Structure 1
Amino acid sequence: MVGYGINKDLPKSLNQEFANVFIFHGTPSVVNDSLAGLGKWEKLKPGHGEMFSFDGHKNIMSNLFGVEISFAKRMQEIYPDQKIAIIKYSHGGTSIDSIQKVASWDPDYNGDKDKMGINQYDFFLRTMHKAYAISDIDGDGHSDRLIPSGIVWMQGESDALHTEEVALRYYTNLKRLMDLIRAALHKDDLPVVIGKISDSGMNKEGKMWKYGELVQYAQEKYARIDKNAAIVRDTKDYGYSDGAHYNSAGYISLGESFASLLYELNNE
């Protein structure tokens, strides 16, 4: 999930630059170009939603936000004396399964006849490596140390759209991908919080994701079987800005839920 919340909808407490919260947002891409996955550390503020970009020198903010805003606010409430660092890489319309060739997270997918470059997981790795390569994140002249505390994952609609076979593979694909991300962060039991997909019903059939229940079951299965995972279920109560995206209030609620569950996993 990139984020389609509208900045002007944010309350004053969230529509601000956050002291002691820093974000490295890797440039989303489906093409293996020179900027894919690149970014720079900055203090968190609204504008890291859809249409955010990095031009090689500076972050170019959008008028949209994602879950990072309310997530950071809640984390600051829980950990008032801590500095918080967020590494974000996301791309709209992605699937884990490689059947959706344009934006697949399948680590083995290498593009459609070399036209599309590498996969989204590789772009995530590039983002992570670039973020970790910066020793002084906050610019105070002293080296900082990043301590991985959790993974936040909201995705699955595209895997519920194509075929029953793809939806049935979602649990296996999700487990593999989360295991790989944990391994990349050198922490095999790193907490994972996933958001349960929901359906707006805003099309003529009254159902956006044909195999949505299969992906929902897979997500519940993952949260049940993995001893250090949790799932946000209140997505079913969110409003929508269009058929595929939550409204601003939904993104705010989702970020808060991600933070609260991540805290619980880290303190069990």
Structure 2
Amino acid sequence: MRRIAHQTVSEFEILKLSLANFQFIKLKSHMNHFFRITCIAAFAVLTFSSHAQDTFRLFYLGGQSNMDGYGYVKDLPDSLNRQFENVYIFHGNTAADGATDGGLGIWEKLEPGHGVGAKATNKKNLLSERFGLELSLGAKLATLYPDDKIALIKYSKGGTSIDSLAADTFGCWEPDFRSKGGINQYDHFLATVNNALSTQDINGDGKADQIIPSGIFWMQGESDAHVLEIAQRYEYNLTRLMNLVRAAFRTDDLPVVIGKISDSNDPSRNYKVWKYGELVQHAQEQFVRKDAQAAIVRSTKHYGHSDPWHYRSEDYIDLGVEFGKVFERLSK
């Protein structure tokens, strides 16, 4: 992975270096503050003490509700219904566009309860009775890096779109979208990253850690599949957003694994929940075909659903495993 060498430069120069090799149409005026957050946070990742006690492989988990996770903790096998010693998670508080508490959280060892309904403050994680792919994914990543520790940063929100015209009441990841107060889901992502990386000691042992940005996991697209024109723009929107997420971690070839959306074909929805789902699926395939550091999880087409929109508990377990397998192949 290519990283920008440490040097003394202004914040603006850091920004230019961080975003090198990325193409943007424009930046919204109010993003200056949030890009400053991103640069400072990412700069911290690369300038931790060379005498760090532990090495952490850092991964970001984002998207909408099937990244939130609708699995029930009561359904977990004993192998996952536990606290993980060498896997840590910073689960940014989920918030609506315009809210000011998005991205709050603390680092803790990974355990069940980081699914939909989980909340966080800057002092405490408030776990729910649900889980997502983070458990089986964390377990898989730990086997891939047995000599290192795993750090997961999670921020996702159900119903959210990338395209601003599909934002509805759920929220939007489009960086230029000016929601209430000028704050959108991308801003909450930046706040999550800044809050997570404001500490140099993830496991609280009193020594600074070496943190290595290692991958992005993205499960989203359903909300962009309702309108033809929006679905047709999904490849462009996804490419732009993933490059912005990479820029936040100052690694321009950071591996990206996305989950392919699927339809439950629910009879109550006339057997088609996502009207233009095939267009979004095609866009996802095109994205990974054109990006040498991106790959896709296709196992979702075999999953059952607990409701018209969300997978079953066992499917979230499998989804995490599949994300890990695809990442393993991509990172070789």
Same fold (TM over 0.5): yes
Q: Deviation per CA, 1:45-69, whole angstroms, max 9, x where unpaired? A: 0000000001342100000001100
The answer on 1:42 being equivalent to 2:108 is yes
Residue 125 of structure 1: aligned partner: 190
Q: Deviation per CA, 1:187-229, whole angstroms, max 9, x where unpaired? A: 1110000000000011341000000000000000001110010
Q: How many Å apart are 1:240 and its aligned residue? A: 0.8
Taking the TM superposition and a 5 Å limit, the aligned residue runs for 1:216-255 are 216-255=281-320
Q: How many Å apart are 1:32 and its aligned residue? A: 3.4
Residue 257 of structure 2: aligned partner: 193
Q: Is the 8 A contact 2:231 2:280 kept in 1?
A: yes
SS of match in other structure, 1:149: strand
Residue 85 of structure 1: aligned partner: 151
Find 2:228's aligned residue among 145, 158, 164: 164
Q: Is the 8 A contact 2:166 2:230 kept in 1?
A: no
The answer on 1:3 being equivalent to 2:3 is no
List runs of 5+ in structure 2 lacking aligned partners.
1-66
Q: 1: CA distance between counterparts of 2:125 and 2:300? A: 30
Q: 2: CA distance between counterparts of 1:214 and 1:136? A: 43
Q: 2: CA distance between counterparts of 1:125 and 1:77? A: 29
Q: Deviation per CA, 1:41-99, whole angstroms, max 9, x where unpaired? A: 00000000000001342100000001100001111222222200000000001110001
The answer on 1:206 being equivalent to 2:274 is no
TM-score normalised according to structure 2 size = 0.77
Structure 1 vs Structure 2 CA RMSD: 1.1
Residue 183 of structure 1: aligned partner: 247
Q: Deviation per CA, 1:95-114, whole angstroms, max 9, x where unpaired? A: 10001333100000111xx3
Residue 135 of structure 1: aligned partner: 200
List runs of 5+ in structure 1 lacking aligned partners.
none
CA shift in 2, pair 1:33/1:119, >3 Å:
closer
Residue 20 of structure 2: aligned partner: none
The answer on 1:96 being equivalent to 2:162 is yes
SS of match in other structure, 1:121: helix
Higher relative contact order (CA 8 A, sep 6+): 2
Q: Is the 8 A contact 1:25 1:40 kept in 2?
A: yes
Find 1:258's aligned residue among 323, 328, 332: 323
The answer on 1:106 being equivalent to 2:174 is yes
SS of match in other structure, 2:137: helix
Q: Is the 8 A contact 2:97 2:172 kept in 1?
A: no
Identity among equivalent positions (%) equals 55
TM-score normalised according to structure 1 size = 0.95
Q: How many Å apart are 1:146 and its aligned residue? A: 1.7
Q: Is the 8 A contact 2:99 2:183 kept in 1?
A: no
Q: How many Å apart are 1:125 and its aligned residue? A: 0.6
SS of match in other structure, 2:264: coil
Q: How many Å apart are 1:119 and its aligned residue? A: 1.1
